C-alpha cells in the first residue's frame, strides 16, 4: 500500500459505474445493472451497530441490545484512523439529501472507499439539484468497506462497525460491504431527530391510488412493503422510509432497495423492469451469460436491487403527498392462525403498532436463517429506532386521530398450518385485499371476530375465496389450530407486558375471555 495521499473525487453516476467496473468491484449484468457481492457481510449486522454516548442525547436514547453505547473517545480515534486510511486511497464523494421535504431534510456528504458504494448512496438517497439550499449543518458518512477494525483497540464488537455520533453529525461505517448499512444508518438518524420536529418517522412504504388516497405499508423486510406498494394500479411515493408531518407524507429517499429472491416479471413487474442500467444488484447469482437468476440464493437469501425512482414509470414526481387515508400493518405470520386482513380500531391499532408481530425473513440480519420463529419488532422497525417506543406510538396515534386514517392488519404469511406445513398467501390474493382496502370496499362491511386473537375480519372480500378470510376454516385439524392459537396469544401477552399503556389498549389485543 502506498503512503501517498490520494484525491477524493466527485464524478457523475455513469462515471461511478465505469470506475466500479475498472476497479473490479463488480460486473455489468445482462440487464445493464451493476452487479456485485459483499462476501460474509450480506445483510445487516445489528451486533456491530453503536451510538456514541454523550451528554446531549444520553437521556433520550433507549439503550440496550438495539442501541449499543460507544465511547466518544474511541469514536474520535477510530474516525481519525479511517480518515487516514482513506487518505491513502482514491475515494468517492456524493452530496445527497435525506428527506424529500423543504424543511425536514438532512444534507449529507457521503465519502466511500469504493465507487459502487458511492453509486448506491447516489441511488438510494436524494440527489438534489441544489445541495443544501437552507445552509443546514451537513452530516458526514465515512464508509471504508475494506477497513478492518481491531476490537481490542477500537472498542468494536468485530472487524466491522456502524457508529452514529449525533453531537458531531457523523456516521462511521468500517469493514461493512453490505450497502444496506448506509441507508439504515441515516434512517436511524432521522428516526431520532424528526420527533423533535413533530414529525413521525416510519418504517413503511407509501403509494397513491387512482382516487388520490395515500396508503402507508408498515412492516419488516420481507413482509411485502416494496412488493405491495409497487402496484401498477397506483403511483409510488417510496418503498421503505417516510416521514409524516402535519399535511404531508414524504419519502426519506430517492430510490428503492428491494429484495430479489424469486423476483419475477409476472408477480412484481414494477421492480423487475426497474433493474437496468443505472441500478445495482447485490448478492444476486449471475450465470455464465451474465443473466441474473433471482431464484438461486446460493450467494445469499438476502439478494437485493437498488434503483432510482426515475426507473418507475408512475412514481409520484414530488416524492411526497398528502396525509394517509389508509394505514396497513404488514405481518408475516408463521403459525398459520392470523387472518389475511383485519380491521383495527384505534386501540387495536396502538396495540399492534407497539407489538410489531411478524417474522424475520431472508436473512435480513446477519446470522438469521430461514424463518423458523416469530418475532416482535416494536413499531415494525425496532432495529432502527433510538428513542423509546412510546414516543413513536404516541405520534402515530396523534396523526391517525387527527386525520381520521383507517388502519388494517394484513397477513402476508402462512395459512392452513404453520410454516413448513401450510402455504403462504399468494401475492395476487394479498394484492386484491390491499386494492379492496384502498378502494374503500372494506368500509362499513359485515364483520366477525376471531376468538383469542380479538381481531375483526370482513366476512367477504370481492375476488377472494371467503374460506381464506377465516383461518380456522383452512386447517384440517382444528385441535392443532387451537393449540397454535393459544401459543400465539400467549406470546402476544408476554411481549406486551413491557408496555405501560392504558387498559383500553391492552384489552384490544389478543386474549381469551375468562
CA-nearest of 21, 25, 41 to 178 is 41
d(CA 292, CA 286): 5
Q: Do 469 and 341 contact (CB within 8 A), yes or no?
A: yes
Name the active-site residue from 104, 240, 325, 424. Answer: 240
Say whether 48 is catalytic: no
Name the active-site residue from 81, 170, 203, 325. Answer: 203
Name the active-site residue from 43, 143, 205, 226. Answer: 226
Q: Is the dihedral of CA 243, 199, 408, 358 positive or negative?
A: positive
3-class state of residue 226 by DSSP = helix
CA-nearest of 129, 130, 230 to 240 is 230
Name the active-site residue from 97, 304, 325, 352. Answer: 304
CA-nearest of 181, 409, 411 to 306 is 181
3-class state of residue 450 by DSSP = strand
CA-nearest of 143, 165, 166, 136 to 85 is 143
Say whether 459 is catalytic: no
d(CA 197, CA 243): 11
Other Cβ atoms closer than 10 A to 371: 22
Say whether 18 is catalytic: no
Say whether 10 is catalytic: no
Alpha-carbon 293 to chain mean position: 24
Say whether 309 is catalytic: no
To which residue does cell 434512517 refer? Answer: 187
Say whether 242 is catalytic: no
Q: Do 495 and 377 contact (CB within 8 A), yes or no?
A: no
Say whether 424 is catalytic: no
Name the active-site residue from 41, 44, 104, 177. Answer: 44
Say whether 184 is catalytic: yes
3-class state of residue 330 by DSSP = strand
Q: Report, as residue numbers or ranges, the catalytic residues.
A: 44, 184, 203, 221, 225-226, 240, 304
Amino acid at each position: 500500500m502506498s503512503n501517498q495521499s490520494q484525491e477524493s473525487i466527485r464524478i457523475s453516476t455513469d462515471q461511478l459505474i465505469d470506475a466500479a467496473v475498472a476497479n473490479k468491484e463488480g460486473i455489468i449484468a445482462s440487464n445493464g445493472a451493476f452487479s456485485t457481492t459483499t462476501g460474509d457481510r450480506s445483510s445487516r449486522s445489528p451486533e456491530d451497530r453503536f451510538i456514541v454516548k454523550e451528554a446531549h442525547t444520553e437521556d433520550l436514547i433507549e439503550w440496550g441490545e438495539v442501541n449499543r453505547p460507544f465511547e466518544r473517545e474511541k469514536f474520535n480515534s477510530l474516525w481519525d484512523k479511517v480518515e487516514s486510511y482513506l487518505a491513502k486511497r482514491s475515494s468517492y464523494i456524493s452530496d445527497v439529501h435525506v428527506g424529500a421535504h423543504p424543511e425536514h431534510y438532512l444534507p449529507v456528504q457521503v465519502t466511500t472507499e469504493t465507487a459502487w458504494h458511492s453509486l448506491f448512496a447516489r441511488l438510494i438517497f436524494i440527489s438534489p439539484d441544489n445541495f443544501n439550499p437552507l445552509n443546514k449543518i451537513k452530516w458526514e458518512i465515512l464508509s471504508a468497506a475494506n477497513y478492518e477494525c481491531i476490537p481490542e483497540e477500537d472498542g468494536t464488537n468485530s472487524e466491522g462497525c456502524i457508529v452514529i455520533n449525533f453531537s458531531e453529525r457523523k456516521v462511521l461505517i468500517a469493514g461493512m460491504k453490505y450497502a444496506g448499512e448506509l441507508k439504515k444508518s441515516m434512517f436511524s438518524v432521522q428516526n431520532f431527530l424528526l420527533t423533535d420536529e413533530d414529525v413521525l418517522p416510519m418504517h413503511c412504504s407509501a403509494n397513491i391510488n387512482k382516487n388520490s388516497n395515500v396508503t402507508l405499508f408498515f412492516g419488516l423486510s420481507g413482509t411485502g412493503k416494496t412488493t405491495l406498494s409497487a402496484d401498477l394500479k397506483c403511483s409510488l411515493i417510496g418503498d421503505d422510509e417516510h416521514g409524516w408531518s402535519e399535511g404531508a407524507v414524504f419519502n426519506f429517499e430517492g430510490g428503492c432497495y428491494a429484495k430479489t429472491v424469486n423476483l419475477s416479471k409476472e408477480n412484481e413487474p414494477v421492480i423487475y423492469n426497474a433493474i437496468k442500467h443505472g441500478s445495482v444488484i447485490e448478492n444476486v447469482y449471475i450465470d455464465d451469460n451474465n443473466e441474473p437468476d433471482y431464484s438461486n440464493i446460493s450467494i445469499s437469501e438476502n439478494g437485493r436491487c437498488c434503483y432510482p425512482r426515475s426507473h418507475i414509470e408512475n412514481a409520484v414526481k414530488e416524492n411526497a403527498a398528502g396525509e394517509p387515508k389508509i394505514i396497513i400493518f404488514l405481518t408475516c405470520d408463521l403459525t398459520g392462525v392470523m387472518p389475511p386482513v383485519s380491521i383495527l380500531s384505534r386501540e387495536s391499532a396502538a396495540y399492534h403498532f407497539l407489538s410489531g408481530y411478524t417474522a424475520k425473513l431472508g436473512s435480513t440480519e446477519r446470522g438469521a436463517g430461514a424463518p423458523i420463529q416469530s418475532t416482535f419488532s416494536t413499531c415494525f422497525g425496532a432495529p432502527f429506532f433510538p428513542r423509546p417506543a412510546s414516543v413513536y406510538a404516541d405520534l402515530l396515534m396523534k396523526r391517525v386521530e387527527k386525520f381520521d386514517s383507517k388502519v388494517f392488519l394484513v397477513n402476508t404469511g402462512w395459512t392452513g398450518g404453520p410454516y413448513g406445513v401450510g402455504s403462504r398467501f399468494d401475492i395476487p390474493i394479498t394484492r386484491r385485499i390491499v386494492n379492496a382496502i384502498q378502494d374503500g370496499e372494506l368500509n362499513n362491511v359485515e364483520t366477525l371476530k376471531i376468538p383469542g386473537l380479538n381481531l375483526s375480519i370482513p366476512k367477504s372480500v370481492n375476488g377472494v375465496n371467503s374460506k381464506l378470510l377465516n383461518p380456522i376454516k383452512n386447517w384440517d385439524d382444528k385441535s392443532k389450530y387451537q393449540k397454535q392459537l393459544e401459543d400465539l396469544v400467549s406470546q402476544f401477552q408476554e411481549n406486551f407486558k413491557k408496555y405501560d399503556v392504558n387498559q383500553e389498549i391492552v384489552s384490544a389485543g389478543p386474549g381469551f375471555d375468562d
